[in-house]
Amino acid sequence: MISKVLYEGSLRTKAVHIASGSTIVTDAPTDNNGKGEAFSPTDLVATSLASCMLTIMGIIAERDGIDLKGAHAEVKKVMSSNPRRISKVGIKIHLNGHLINPPDRDRLERAARHCPVGGSLHPEIEEEVIFVYDE
């Protein structure tokens, strides 16, 4: 078992990671009868994609001696209404451009685009991924 999820009422859940005790709280979004005071479950899906991409890039970076410190992602999610589901995830990944040469950039981008979360998402979910090399 990886987690235990408790429904707390008022469209809120609390997930506990069994191994670490770390918690995540979710709320339904305001456009779906919720309070929107925390990530929604679909926010976590979109955010998981960005986290997975950065993690896979980190694995490559650590293996190859590339400095990714300070890299970060901005995440956007678009919902469709009929049926209500994620239709698009937009991710903008910012990296320190002066620290990463072009061949390393290609390897990192390729790795990010093949992360396990992305491979697990429904193929109809549009993924727009932009890599920005801040100088």
DSSP string, 26-86: EE--GGGTS--SSB-HHHHHHHHHHHHHHHHHHHHHHHHT---TT-EEEEEEEEEETTEEE
Cβ atoms 68, 95 nearer than 8 A: yes
**Which of 94, 86, 32 shows the shortest CA–CA distance to 11?**
32
| pTM reported for the whole predicted model | 0.94
* Per-residue pLDDT, 97: 87
pLDDT at 54 over 90: yes
Average model confidence (pLDDT) across the chain:
96
- Please give the Cα distance from 68 to 73 (Å, whole number): 12
Residue 18 pLDDT class (50, 70, 90 cuts): very high
Residue 99 pLDDT class (50, 70, 90 cuts): confident
SS3 93: strand
pLDDT at 134 over 90: no
133 compared with 134, residue with greater pLDDT: 133
Q: List the beta bridge partners of residue 119.
A: none
94 compared with 97, residue with greater pLDDT: 94
- Assigned CATH topology for domain 41-134: GMP Synthetase; Chain A, domain 3 (3.30.300)
**What are the extents of the domains in the chain?**
3-32, 41-134
